[in-house]
Structure 1
Amino acid sequence: MSREAAEYALRARADERDRISGDLLDLESHTTYQVLKGASLRGSTEQRWTATQESLTTLWQLNDAYRAVLRRAEQIRASRARPGAEQLAALTELLAGSSVILRAAAKPVERRSLIPQTDLRLTLDEAVTRMNAAFREVTSALNDIDAVWNRVLPRLDGADADLSKIHDLESELGETAGLTAEESELARLRTAAVEDPLGATVEPHLDRLTRLLASSRAELDLAITVKREFAARRENLVAALDLVRAAESEARLAHGAVVVKIALPPQAQPRSRVGALAGELDALDVSADPWVLRAKRLARLEDDARKAAEQARTTAKALYGLIGRRDELRGRLGACEAMAARKGLAEDPAVSESFARAHALLWNAPCDLTKAAAAVENYQRAIHGGK
C-alpha cells in the first residue's frame, strides 16, 4: 500500500468509525431498547430478544476489535511524519489484511466441544459487514416490537382512561356497571402486550373490550343525565302523550268521517297506543331499576311516544286521502264520459254499461275504491276500443 493509499484508507476508516459510533449511540438511547434492557419478557418476544442480545454481544465485540485495529494503525501513522517501508507494511496489514480478531466465546459446558474453538480473523470490511448484519437484526427486532407497542399501548391507555372515567361516573351515580371482569381482562391484556408483544393476541380482545367500555361509559353518562333531568323530561313526556292523544283523536275522527263514504277493511280502524304508553310511564315512576336501565326505558318511551303521534297523524292523512282518491276517480270518469261523447260512443251499449257500473260504484256510499278504480279503467278501455 502506497503512502497516499494508506493516508486515504485511514481517513476513510476514521469517518466510517465515527458513523458507526453514532449509530451505536442512537441504538443505545433508543426508547424501546432501553425498556427492553430491563424488561421481564416471555414467549416469542423473550426468544427473539435472547437471540437479538447474542447479536448485540457480537456487534460490540466486533466494534471493539475494529476500533482497536484502527487505533493501532493511527499510532503507527503518528509515530513518524513520513512513514517508511516498515510502517507502510504494517499499515497495509492492518487496513487490508485479516487484522480484526474476534475471540472465541466461552460456552457453557453443555455446549462445549473437546476440540478447541479458534479465534475468527476478519478484514476491516468483513468486520463492518458482520457488524451491519448484527445491527440490522437488532433494529429489526426493535422495529417489530416498537410497531406493536405503538399500536397497542395507546389503545390500552385509552381503555384505562375510559375505565377510570367509568369509576368516576359510578361514584356519582351511586351504582356499579359491573365491570370487574373487564377490568381484570384489561390488566391481563396490558401485561401480555408489555411482556410478549410479538406473541400475544391482544388486539381482537382489545377491540371487544374497547367497544364494551365505550358502551358502558355512554350508558352511565346517559343515566346521570336522566337522573338529573328526570323531572323535566317526565313533564315533557306527559306533554308528548297529550300530543299522541290529540293525534289519535284526529285519526278516529278521520276514520268516522271516511268510513261512511269509503268502504274500509276492519284493520283500518285506528288503534290507540296512548294507554299503553301512559302505563309504561307510571311503571317507570315507581321503578326500582338502576338508573342505567331507567335511562334506557325513558329514552325508548320518548321515542315510542314520538312515533305513535307521527303514526296517528299519518293514519288521519291517509284516511282523508281516500276521499281525495274517490274524487279523483270521479273526475276521471267525467273526463272519459266527455271523450265518449266526442267520439260518438255515448249511446254504445257496452260503453254505456261500463259507465253506469263505474258511476254506481263511485256514487255509492260507502264506496269500494278498489272496484271503482277497476270500473273506471274498464270504461276507459271501452272508449278506446278495448285498448
Structure 2
Amino acid sequence: MLRGTGEAIAGQTLDQSGAGAAAPMSREGVDHALRGLRDERERISSSLAELERQSAVRLLAGARLTGETLRRWEDARSRLATLWRLFDAYQRVLEEACELRDRSPRPDVATLTELSGLLSGCSVELPDGEVPLEHRTLLGPQERRITLDEAVAMMSDAYEFVAREVAAADAAWTALLRPLELAEEGWRTTARLAHSLDGTRHPELDRVGRELTALGRLVRTDPLSLVRNGRPDTGRLDRVRAALTTLGDELGGVARMRDEYDVLLARITAEIEEVEDTERRARDAYSTALAKIHSPNLPAPSAGLATPLRDRIAALERLREAGRWVEMAGRFAELERAAEEALERARGDLRLSAGLLDRRGELRGRLEAYRAKAARLGLAEDARLTELYGEAREVLWTAPCDLRRATAVLAEFQRAIRASESETGTRR
C-alpha cells in the first residue's frame, strides 16, 4: 500500500558509459523524481493518519490488554512507532532535497550530484535499533542509512503488519462484544426476575454469572485468545446465552405461576377432587363386580390417593406465605405430576371393575341380536336354538354371572344359527 517510486529514481543513476559508477541525475530527472516523491509522501501520510484514526487502534491503545492480545499489540505498537520515526527521517531527506532544489533554479553538477545522493543514495538514517538484518554483521550494524526506496519498503512492511494485527483485534471484538453485551443484559434481567421471586440467591444463576464475568474480562482484555483458525470462537458465549435462556424460561414460568396461582390452585384442586370421585366410582364398580360377576379375580382398588395430594397443597400454601416462589414452583410441578399419576391409577382401577360389567352387558346385547336374527330367518320355533337361548339368558341374567360360561354358550348359539341357516338354504 505504501510502496512507491524509488525504482524509477534508481534507474536514472547509472553511468551512461555502462561502467556502473553512479552518475548525477539531470535537472529534469531530479524534478520528475521530486514530483513523484512528494505525491508518494502525501499518500503515505494519509495512510498513516487513517490508520491512527481507526477505532480499533484507539481501543487497543486505551484498553487494559492481557495475554495474546497484549503481546501482539505491543509488537504492533512498536512497529507503528518505528514506522512514524522512519517516516519522519524519510520526510527530512525529502524536505532537504526540495529546499536544495528551490535554492538552485539552475543547479550545477555539484548540486545535481548532491540531489542525486539524497534522492537515490543511502540518505535516510535509520532509527535506533532498526538496521535491517542484511546490513548487520557479527560485530553489529555496518550501515545505518538506507535509500528512500528502502525506507518506503520498510514502512510498507511495518504498515501491513500493524494493519493486520489491528484488523484481527477489531474482527474479534466485533464478533464478541455484541453477544457479550446481550448476554450481560440477559443475566441482569434474569437476576432481577430471580430476586423479585424470592429474594434469595439462585445457585445456577450465580454459576452462570461467574462464567460470564470471566468471559467478559477475557473478551475485553484479550479477544485474540478466543480466535480459532482465524475466526472468533463464540462457543463459550453461546453456551452462556443458552443457559440464560433456559434459566429465564424457568423463572418466567415461576413468575407466571405466582401471578396465576389462584387459577392453578383451583385447577389442581379440581383434579384432586376428580381423583376422589374416580376412587369412589372404582370402589362402587368393584363392589358391584364382586356381587354380579362369578370369580372376577379383581385386585382391590387403590384407596386414599387424594389424601397426600391435599397435604401437598397445604405445604404449598406455607411456601406461598413465605414468598418462596422458586421452591414452590418445583413443588407445584411435582404435585401436578403426582395428581396425574393418581388420577390415571384410579381410572385404571375403575376400568378393571367396570370392564367386567361392560362385558356382561355386551354379551347380553349380542344374545338379543342373535335371537332377532334367528327370528328373521324363520327359526324362532327351532327347539335347539330355543334351548341354547334359554341357557345363555339364564347365565347372563343370574348373579353372580359366569362370564366364561356365558361366552361359550353364546358362541354355540351363534354357530347353531349359522348351521340352521345353511340347511335352510340347501333345501331351497
Could you state the TM-score of these two structures normalised by the residue count of structure 1?
Answer: 0.64
Name the residue aligned to 2:266.
235
- For residue 97 of structure 2, the aligned residue among 69, 73, 92 is 73
Name the residue aligned to 2:220.
194
- For residue 164 of structure 1, the aligned residue among 188, 209, 217 is 188
Deviations 1:203-260 (A, max 9, x none): 6654554444433333333323222221122113333455667788999999999999
Please say which of residues 31-40 and 305-314 is displaced more in the overlay: 305-314
Task: Say whether 1:293 aligns with 2:308.
Answer: no
Is 1:44–1:198's contact at 8 Å kept on the other side of the alignment? Answer: yes
Q: Go from structure 1 to structure 2 and tell me whether the alpha carbon gap of 1:289 and 1:205 turns closer, same or farther (over 3 Å shift).
A: farther
Name the residue aligned to 1:356.
none
Structure 2: tracts of 5 or more residues without a match: 1-11, 13-25, 131-136, 228-232, 371-402, 412-428
Is 1:62–1:131's contact at 8 Å kept on the other side of the alignment? Answer: yes
Amino acid paired to 2:220: V
Which protein is bigger by CA-based radius of gyration?
Answer: 2
Task: Say whether 1:284 aligns with 2:316.
Answer: yes
Deviations 1:329-387 (A, max 9, x none): x9xxx9xxxxxxxxxxxxxxxxxxxxxxxxxxxx966769xxx9xxxxxxxxxxxxxxx
What is the Cα deviation at residue 86 of structure 1? 4.7
Structure 2: distance between partners of 1:81 and 1:265: 128
Amino acid paired to 1:285: E
Structure 2: distance between partners of 1:272 and 1:8: 108
What is the Cα deviation at residue 30 of structure 1? 1.9
Amino acid paired to 2:177: L
Is 1:104–1:118's contact at 8 Å kept on the other side of the alignment? Answer: no
What is the Cα deviation at residue 161 of structure 1? 1.6
Structure 2: distance between partners of 1:299 and 1:282: 15
Name the residue aligned to 1:176.
200
Task: Say whether 1:104 aligns with 2:128.
Answer: yes
Name the residue aligned to 2:73.
49
What is the Cα deviation at residue 307 of structure 1? 8.2
Structure 2: distance between partners of 1:366 and 1:275: 40
Amino acid paired to 2:316: L
Task: Say whether 1:132 aligns with 2:163.
Answer: no
Structure 1: distance between partners of 2:274 and 2:192: 39
The RMSD of aligned alpha carbons is 4.9
Task: Say whether 1:218 aligns with 2:249.
Answer: yes
Q: Go from structure 1 to structure 2 and tell me whether the alpha carbon gap of 1:317 and 1:13 turns closer, same or farther (over 3 Å shift).
A: farther
Is 2:198–2:324's contact at 8 Å kept on the other side of the alignment? Answer: no
Structure 2: distance between partners of 1:4 and 1:266: 120
Is 1:241–1:274's contact at 8 Å kept on the other side of the alignment? Answer: yes
Please say which of residues 249-258 and 59-68 is displaced more in the overlay: 249-258
Structure 2: distance between partners of 1:42 and 1:316: 71
Query: What SS does structure 1 have at the residue aligned with 2:40?
Result: helix
Is 1:226–1:295's contact at 8 Å kept on the other side of the alignment? Answer: yes
What is the Cα deviation at residue 295 of structure 1? 1.7
What is the Cα deviation at residue 143 of structure 1? 2.5
Name the residue aligned to 2:416.
none
Name the residue aligned to 1:353.
none
Is 1:222–1:292's contact at 8 Å kept on the other side of the alignment? Answer: no
Structure 1: distance between partners of 2:345 and 2:151: 84
Q: Go from structure 1 to structure 2 and tell me whether the alpha carbon gap of 1:316 and 1:133 turns closer, same or farther (over 3 Å shift).
A: farther
Could you state the TM-score of these two structures normalised by the residue count of structure 2?
Answer: 0.58
Is 1:240–1:305's contact at 8 Å kept on the other side of the alignment? Answer: yes
Name the residue aligned to 1:345.
none
Structure 1: distance between partners of 2:105 and 2:405: 128
Please say which of residues 279-288 and 153-162 is displaced more in the overlay: 279-288
What is the Cα deviation at residue 102 of structure 1? 0.6
Is 1:247–1:312's contact at 8 Å kept on the other side of the alignment? Answer: yes
Structure 1: tracts of 5 or more residues without a match: 107-112, 335-362, 373-387
- For residue 14 of structure 1, the aligned residue among 27, 32, 38 is 38
Structure 1: distance between partners of 2:27 and 2:288: 118
Deviations 1:116-162 (A, max 9, x none): 65553222222122111111221222223233323333333223223
Structure 2: distance between partners of 1:65 and 1:43: 33
Structure 1: distance between partners of 2:199 and 2:323: 11
Is 1:102–1:120's contact at 8 Å kept on the other side of the alignment? Answer: yes
Identity across matched positions, percent: 32
Structure 2: distance between partners of 1:10 and 1:254: 113
What is the Cα deviation at residue 297 of structure 1? 3.3
Task: Say whether 1:149 aligns with 2:173.
Answer: yes
Amino acid paired to 2:170: D
Name the residue aligned to 1:375.
none
Amino acid paired to 2:178: P
Q: Go from structure 1 to structure 2 and tell me whether the alpha carbon gap of 1:305 and 1:80 turns closer, same or farther (over 3 Å shift).
A: farther
The number of residues matched between the two structures is 330
